[in-house]
Amino acid sequence: MASTNAAPFEGPEKKLKVTFAADAPSLRTLPRAAWDAVLGAAGASIVSAAGDARWDAYVLSESSLFVSDHSATLITCGQTRLVEAVQPLLALCPAAALSQLLYARKSEHFPAHQATRFDDDAALLERALGARVQAGRLRLGQGAHFVDLFHAAAPGVGRRPDMTLEVLMHGPDPVACAAFAREQAPAAHAHVSAVGPGFALHEHYFAPQGYSVNGLRDGAYLTLHVTPEPEGSYVSFELQGPLGGTLPVDAVRAVAQLAALFTPRSMEVLAYQPLPPEASAPTAASVARAGTPRAAAPQELGADVPGYAVVARETHVAADYQLVFTQLRPSTAP
């Protein structure tokens, strides 16, 4: 996770999450070569591996991969071509077993160095998935930092959605990022353990700089990636809870801890909650901007972060999730 002479390193990630029906063959029984092929298509490779009763977790040359029996989440940064991993990933299970797919691109700092644009990727996904899914596109956020999201769900395929929290931080404090250098390993470990107590952590320090960690606990995972580039510094955090359960840590507290630690110049919080069975179709969407008077629901993480003000909040339906997106900037009031 280091820059080259050709271009600075791109920290903001692309993310692909594919879920298959519960009666599909288990992804965890596939050989390592199958995942090497999927990752190779995207331009990434496995650095280290760990696992527990629910997850196989991999630190990658460019971020992370998490595999459960019926879902795979790939997170890649740099100049990876994550969309090219879709076809080999879908080929791992029967076509009729596809339940839902989410594909996101965070706003890049150096978009001219990317091989494709989000619209190119979304068009490719629409062609690959065809009429078997209900699909849609969203742009979350306003200004320089946003998230483009493609979402698709297959009608009539059983679903078991989970809960996911993402925190995206642009312009983090360089001093805070320095604590995640190899020579500061005990400090880095302590910081992550404070945010995710009880997680078994598997860390990797990149040369000359950059840090990734995966953590597993009680059917949940967390991952943190630190890109301390002089240009385009960036930190991301993700926490996914167990199926049918709740997040194993206080997520509101975790967001506040991350903000206090990294003091980023911009922060985006995404909270994915399972929809109730009677919820709207996957293509339905509603948006509520910051300033709209309404009571904050529990899932609206990021609504009250010390030292930060909400500049936008949106609520959408994406596949089988209610997605709450909150955009924050440092408070200007004393």
Is residue 33 within 8 A of residue 131, CB to CB? The reply is no
**Distance between CA 78 and CA 227 in Å, rounded?**
10
| Cis ω for the linkage preceding 186 (within 30 of 0) | no
**Could you tell me the two tokens for 315?**
């609520």
Q: What is the pTM of this model?
A: 0.91
CATH architecture, range 14-330 = 4-Layer Sandwich (3.60)
Would residue 126 show up in a list of annotated catalytic residues for this protein?
Answer: no
221: left (phi over 0), alpha (psi -120 to 50) or beta: beta
Distance CA 160, CA 83 (A): 24
All residues at 6 or more sequence positions from 231 whose CB lies less than 8 Å from its CB, including other chains: 8, 109
Q: Which of these is catalytic: 64, 99, 212, 236? A: 212
Kindly give the interhelix angle for 251-262 and 185-195, rounded to the nearest 10 degrees: 150
10 tagged catalytic: yes
CA 149 to chain centre: 11
Q: Is 204 a catalytic residue?
A: no
Question: Catalytic annotation on 63?
Answer: yes
What residue segments make up the domains of the chain, in order of their start? 14-330
Each residue's pLDDT expressed in tens, for the chain with a length of 334 residues: 544 446 788 889 999 999 999 999 999 999 999 999 999 999 999 999 999 999 999 999 999 999 999 999 999 999 999 999 999 999 999 989 999 999 999 999 899 999 899 999 999 999 999 988 999 999 999 889 999 999 999 987 876 678 999 999 999 999 999 999 999 999 999 999 999 999 999 999 998 899 999 999 999 999 999 999 888 899 999 999 987 777 889 999 999 999 999 999 999 999 999 887 655 444 333 333 332 223 234 455 788 899 999 999 999 999 989 999 999 999 975 4
Q: Is 108 a catalytic residue?
A: no
C-beta neighbour count of 51 within 10 angstroms: 15
**Of 225, 236, 266, 314, which is the active-site residue?**
225
Mapping DSSP to helix (H, G, I), strand (E, B) and coil, where does residue 124 land? helix
Stated length of the chain: 334
Q: Active-site residue 231, yes or no?
A: no
